[in-house]
Amino acid sequence: MKPLAFCLKIILFYVFIGSYIIEAQGEEDTTLKALRKITIIDQKVMMPMRDGIRLATDIYRPKGEGKYPIIFSRTPYNFNTWVDGKQTIRTARRALEAVKRGYVYIVQNERGRYFSEGEWDILGVPLTDGFDAFTWMKDQEWSNGKIGTLGCSSTAEWQMAVAALDHPSHVAMVPQGYGAGVGKVGKFNEQGNWYRGGVEQMLFFSWLYSVEHDKFKPRIPTGATQEDLIRISRFYDLSPKNPDVDMAKALNHLPIQDIIKNINGKKEVYDKMIRRTPNHPDWAKGGIYQADDNFGVPSFWFASWYDVSIGPNIALFNHVREHGKDAEVRDNQYLVIAPTLHCGYTRAKENTIVGERSVGDARLNYEEQIYAWFDLWLKGEQNDFKKNTPRVQYYTMGSNKWQSAESFPPAASKMFNYYLNSGGKANTLNGDGVLSTKKPNSKDIPDTFIYDPLNPVNSFGGNVCCTGNAIKGGAFDQSEMEKRDDILVYTSQPLKKGIEVTGFIESTLYVSSDAKDTDFTIKIIDVYPDGKAYNLDETIQRARYRQGYDKEVFMNNKNIYKINFSPMTTSNYFEKGHRIRIEISSSNFPRFARNLNTGGRNYDEKEGVVAQNKIHHSRQYPSHIKLPILLK
């Protein structure tokens, strides 16, 4: 390249970067100026809990006399408005929108996080913290006594268990991507996304490394004044800067109990959790909502098809509609399901790409609906929310459109059996595996594959969250993966007409193994005419828990066992000419921890056993899935 041309490129690059910085800085200045103009800002208020612990709280309220409703977000994440000595708009945007609409916006750190006092535990801080916060807020002179909660992921997960306490001022909530706050509900027993089918979901291994504060962290002296806290927050926010880690490599470490230790992370909470079985009594002592808890709050729920917890999320919505405290609560539950990743609702665009699959224009007026909901419950406005808002709004991929229903699944969705068939050679996408509505009537010719824990099937896309660089979530073409001999592939004939699958997909396999214990995995896939195979959802089941999570029952290599899986969940239109595919294997790593097949505790083992696993399909052993097909 000639020197002059090179210099021009350098100049243009810096002009571009400079204009971007100026534009970003301009947005910050504009937002902060607008916020200060209309808002009384009261930061680092140390809200007292009943045991004397104080929680750091920022309050943004409209200027002028009057009593206002409150939108409250409680979070384990850092919301300090100062970064590297400069004020940011991370919190200011949401506060400005709330104040402009006549609300007080309050954000608070959980116990033991950043400037909040006490000790933190994942989903284990006292439920009374939420109750006490509601009481403090409703007693303020500027409060009208009505509080709505709002947040996604960890800022949502605490809301359900607190809703069970039924504080009289907690009158509405908007939980989004809230699965880690759900214990056992319906056909799901995930205990806050820690498990699926009795198998550890490794997202928390990565998440804990990135967010957990060390017990040796510097602490603010007890009794520090608000003035001092505001002053030091300009240059010191107690945010740990953990070294970057290659999670794709880190999650490979065995035994899994040492994964956090091996990357020099804080391990106290992890050490406890990795040993906690799916039925351990401590699950009921933390902040997770369980199905036998009360529920007393009208709720506007948000979920997404490629979230790690889509199934439990919808199951909880259905549970509350059936078992809420009273008729008013049961009748005031609404749900939105978007075709996005975890907490990715507002990232939907005119051409929304999830992974590498386009799902079309998936935009929705989220903010308008949320504030209409809050206006109804917190201000008492007789608006048109109920008239204009369907009970369930769900996006159907494939046909790429928003749809509505009074329930989920929609009433017109009916279950149809699709059976697994083969001549015993369903290995790889080039095998003879068939998915058909015809029940097999031949003798049992099982499909056999080898599962080696040290050479697992890698997770490729999927319904994931929080795994760093280990997994990229969403829909990806699985066809190259399906060339592995340890993946069984069952595919329907090209569809003669399009069908919509919307609802919970149930799976039953008849299996055998020469190992005492092993896992079985399933994916459902939309196969395009050109061979691209896009994953929709996935599930897993550990064989030792096939009879329930309150006991472990190991396998005998002479027997065939029936296994029912946690449901998969989707809404997808399979166009004419497309095919429906099921993948079966014994690993989906590192989304799920590998079963080492020994029958041991797994978390403290380094050596695995290679298993020969079989899927049986015949009239006696009719392995099948049940597809919820929308009849129109």
pLDDT per residue as tens digits for the range 361-416: 999 999 999 999 999 999 999 999 999 999 999 999 999 999 999 999 999 999 99
DSSP state of 453: T
Q: Kindly tell me if the per-residue pLDDT of 1 is higher than 80.
A: no
User: Rounded mean pLDDT of 203-220?
Assistant: 89
Share of the chain above pLDDT 70, in %: 95
Report the pLDDT value the prediction gives residue 12, as an integer from 0 to 100: 43
Q: What are the backbone angles phi and psi of residue 348, rounded to the nearest 5°?
A: -65, 135
Report the pLDDT value the prediction gives residue 22, as an integer from 0 to 100: 39
In 3-state terms, what secondary structure has residue 185? Answer: strand
3-class secondary structure per residue, 141-178 = CCEEEEEEEEEEHHHCCCHHHHHCCCCCCEEEEEEECC
DSSP state of 459: P
Q: What are the backbone angles phi and psi of residue 197, rounded to the nearest 5°?
A: 60, 25
What sign does the dihedral 572-576-578-581 (CA atoms) show?
positive
Model confidence at 632, pLDDT cuts 50, 70, 90, reads: confident
Report the pLDDT value the prediction gives residue 242, as an integer from 0 to 100: 85
User: Rounded mean pLDDT of 508-513?
Assistant: 98
Model confidence at 16, pLDDT cuts 50, 70, 90, reads: very low
Q: Kindly tell me if the per-residue pLDDT of 24 is higher than 50.
A: no
In 3-state terms, what secondary structure has residue 294? Answer: coil
User: Rounded mean pLDDT of 298-325?
Assistant: 97
Enter the tokens of residue 372: 């209409």
Of 98, 209, 628, nearest in space to 410 by CA: 628
Report the pLDDT value the prediction gives residue 90, as an integer from 0 to 100: 81
Q: Kindly tell me if the per-residue pLDDT of 21 is higher than 50.
A: no
Model confidence at 141, pLDDT cuts 50, 70, 90, reads: very high
Which of 266 and 413 is assigned the larger pLDDT?
413
User: Rounded mean pLDDT of 280-308?
Assistant: 94
Q: How many residues does the chain have?
A: 632
- pLDDT, one tens digit per residue, over 74-97 is 999 999 887 766 777 889 999 999
Q: Report the range of poorest mean pLDDT among 4-13, 58-67, 483-492.
A: 4-13
Model confidence at 20, pLDDT cuts 50, 70, 90, reads: very low
Of 627, 618, 626, nearest in space to 422 by CA: 618
The answer to whether the peptide bond before residue 410 is cis (omega within 30 degrees of 0) is no
Report the alpha-carbon distance of residue 80 to residue 277 in Å, rounded: 36
Q: Kindly tell me if the per-residue pLDDT of 7 is higher than 70.
A: no
Report the pLDDT value the prediction gives residue 8, as an integer from 0 to 100: 45
Report the pLDDT value the prediction gives residue 346, as an integer from 0 to 100: 84
Share of the chain above pLDDT 90, in %: 86
Report the alpha-carbon distance of residue 585 to residue 554 in Å, rounded: 19
Q: Which long-range contacts (CB under 8 A, 24 or more apart) does 223-226 make?
A: 224/46, 226/43, 226/44, 226/45, 226/46
- pLDDT, one tens digit per residue, over 555-603 is 999 999 999 999 999 999 999 999 999 999 999 999 999 999 999 999 9
Pairing of strands 299-306, 333-341: parallel
Contacts of 209 (CB under 8 A, 6+ apart): 242, 245, 247, 250, 260, 263, 265, 266
| Mean of the per-residue pLDDT values of the chain | 93
Contacts of 545 (CB under 8 A, 6+ apart): 197, 198, 278, 552
Cβ count within 10 A of residue 514: 16
Report the pLDDT value the prediction gives residue 9, as an integer from 0 to 100: 44
- First-to-last alpha carbon distance for the chain, in angstroms, is 63
CATH 2.60.40.10 fits 413-630, yes or no: no
Report the alpha-carbon distance of residue 596 to residue 587 in Å, rounded: 10
Q: Kindly tell me if the per-residue pLDDT of 2 is higher than 80.
A: no
- pLDDT, one tens digit per residue, over 427-444 is 999 999 999 999 998 889
Of 98, 167, 157, 112, nearest in space to 136 by CA: 167
Report the pLDDT value the prediction gives residue 11, as an integer from 0 to 100: 44
Pairing of strands 86-87, 82-83: antiparallel
Q: Report the range of poorest mean pLDDT among 29-33, 287-291, 359-363.
A: 29-33
Report the alpha-carbon distance of residue 619 to residue 326 in Å, rounded: 46
Report the pLDDT value the prediction gives residue 25, as an integer from 0 to 100: 52
User: Rounded mean pLDDT of 220-233?
Assistant: 91
Model confidence at 17, pLDDT cuts 50, 70, 90, reads: very low
Region class of 145: left (phi > 0), else alpha (psi between -120 and 50), else beta = left
Report the pLDDT value the prediction gives residue 15, as an integer from 0 to 100: 44
Report the pLDDT value the prediction gives residue 6, as an integer from 0 to 100: 43
User: Rounded mean pLDDT of 292-310?
Assistant: 96
User: Rounded mean pLDDT of 317-340?
Assistant: 97
User: Rounded mean pLDDT of 446-475?
Assistant: 96
